[in-house]
Chains A and B, each alone.
Chain A
Amino acid sequence: MPGIPTNYFLILSAILFTIGVCGVLTRRNGITIFMSIELMVNAVNLTFVAYARQFHSLHGLIFVFFVMAIAAAEAAVGLAIFIALYHHRDTIDVDEANLMHW
C-alpha cells in the first residue's frame, strides 16, 4: 500500500505556517494573534510527524508530544497575561500594550 507522498504533507504544513505568519502580522486582537501562533505550532507538528514516518523514527513523534505540552503551558501563561492586560487597559489590542514603552 503506497501511502500519500510525504511531500504533500510538507507543502500543507508550509501553507498552514504561512497563514499563521499572516495572522500574526496583520491582526491586532491579542487572542487572535495567539491563535495564529497555535496554528504555526501545529504546522510544525505536522512536519515532525511527516518526517517521522518518512525516516521511521519515533523521536519526531516524541518531540510532538513535548511541543504539545509546552504549547499548553504557553497558552495558559499567555492568556493570563491577556487577562491582566485587560484589567489594566480594558482592551486586548496589542497596540495598546505599551506599558514597557520606555
Chain B
Amino acid sequence: MVELAVFFVFAAVAVIFALVVILHRNPVVSALSLVASFFALAVMYVLLEAPFLAALQVIVYAGAIMVLFLFVIMLLNLQHQREETTRPIQQALGYVFSAAFGIGLIFYLIKYAWIRAEQTTPFNSDARAIGIRLFEAYVFPFEMVSILLLAAIVGALLLSQRTDLRGRPTTGVDHPSGQNPEGAAASPRTGQPSFDAGQPSPAAASRRADPHHEGAK
C-alpha cells in the first residue's frame, strides 16, 4: 500500500516535471526540471527492485549528462535568449500528432500487452549479479562501448573547435566567426568587452595559436 502511494506520487512528479521541460521557454528551467524528472525515475527503479540502476541513473544522468547540458546552456549564454514562438500550424500539428500517438500507444498497451500474471517472487538484481553477467556474456559489447565513448570524446573536441565556414580552425578567442581578425575591442555579438580585449601577451597568443597550427597540418 505504501509502495503504491510512493509510486503514484513520484509518477506524478516525473510527468509534471517532464511537462515543464517541454513547455517552459527558459532552457535552464527545462534542464533543472529534467533533473527532477530523472530523480523520480530513479525512485521508479528502486520500486522495480533495481537499486544499482537507480544509483547509475542518479550518477550518470542527473549528475553527468545534465551537468553537460547546463554547461552548454551557460556557455552559449542561452538563459537570456527568448525562444521565438513556433508557427501555430506546426505547434497545432505537433500537439495533435503526439496526442494521437500517446493514445494509440496506451490503447495498444492495454489491448495487446496487458500483463495479467504478475510476477511475485523477488528479483535479485544487485551490482554483483549485473557485474557477473556484464563481464561474462556481455564483455565484447562492453569493450565496444568504451571505444564508442572514446570516439565521442574525439568527435566532441573536433566539432566544438572554432572553425570558419570552410572548416579551418581559427586562432584566438576574441573573434568568434573569423570575421574581424585583428583583436577588436568589443565582442561583436554582445557588445561587451571580451576577456582579453587589449593586446594579448605574445606568449599567450602563441600558446593559443599553437594547437591550431598543429591541427592544420
Residues of A within 8 A of B (CB): 1-12, 14-23, 25-29, 31-32, 34-36, 38-39, 42, 45-46, 49-50, 52-56, 58-59, 61-62, 64-66, 68-77, 79-84, 86-88, 90, 92-93
Task: Tell me the interface secondary structure of chain A in the complex.
Answer: helix
Docked complex Cα distance between A11 and B110 (Å): 9
What chain B residues lie within 8 Å of A62 (beta carbons)? Answer: 130, 133-134, 138
Residues of B within 8 A of A (CB): 3-4, 7, 11, 14-15, 18-19, 21-22, 27, 30-31, 34, 37-38, 41, 44-45, 47-50, 52-53, 56-57, 60-61, 64-65, 68-69, 72-73, 75-76, 78, 83-84, 86, 90-91, 93-95, 97-99, 101-102, 105-106, 109, 113-115, 118-123, 125, 129-130, 133-134, 138, 141, 145, 148-149, 151-153, 155-163, 165, 176-177, 189
Docked complex Cα distance between A29 and B84 (Å): 9
**13 interchain pairs, CB-CB under 8 A:** A3-B119, A7-B114, A15-B106, A20-B22, A22-B99, A32-B21, A32-B27, A39-B22, A45-B41, A52-B123, A68-B60, A75-B65, A83-B76
Is A54 in contact with B86, judged by CB distance below 8 angstroms?
no
What chain B residues lie within 8 Å of A77 (beta carbons)? Answer: 152, 155-156, 159
Q: A8-B11, A28-B84, A54-B118 are in contact. List 10 more A-B contacts (CB 8 A).
A: A16-B14, A25-B93, A26-B22, A27-B22, A35-B69, A49-B48, A52-B50, A53-B49, A58-B133, A72-B65
Is A6 in contact with B44, judged by CB distance below 8 angstroms?
no
Q: Determine which of A4, A22, A26, A52 lies in contact with B90 in the assembled complex, contact meaning CB atoms within 8 Å.
A: A26
Docked complex Cα distance between A30 and B7 (Å): 32
User: Ordered nearest first, which 8 A-B pairs have the shortest CB separation?
Assistant: A18-B102, A25-B94, A23-B22, A73-B152, A22-B98, A80-B159, A26-B94, A80-B156
Docked complex Cα distance between A10 and B11 (Å): 11
Is A29 in contact with B95, judged by CB distance below 8 angstroms?
no
Is B38 in contact with A75, judged by CB distance below 8 angstroms?
no
What chain B residues lie within 8 Å of A70 (beta carbons)? Answer: 145, 148
Is B21 in contact with A23, judged by CB distance below 8 angstroms?
yes
Q: A38-B34, A65-B134, A77-B156 are in contact. Are A28 and B83 (CB under 8 A)?
A: yes
Docked complex Cα distance between A81 and B145 (Å): 21
Closest to B145 in A: A69
Is A79 in contact with B145, judged by CB distance below 8 angstroms?
no
What chain A residues lie within 8 Å of B134 (beta carbons)? Answer: 62, 65
Docked complex Cα distance between A83 and B161 (Å): 9
Is A76 in contact with B53, judged by CB distance below 8 angstroms?
no
Is B15 in contact with A12, judged by CB distance below 8 angstroms?
yes
Docked complex Cα distance between A31 and B72 (Å): 9
Is A26 in contact with B86, judged by CB distance below 8 angstroms?
yes
Docked complex Cα distance between A17 and B121 (Å): 29
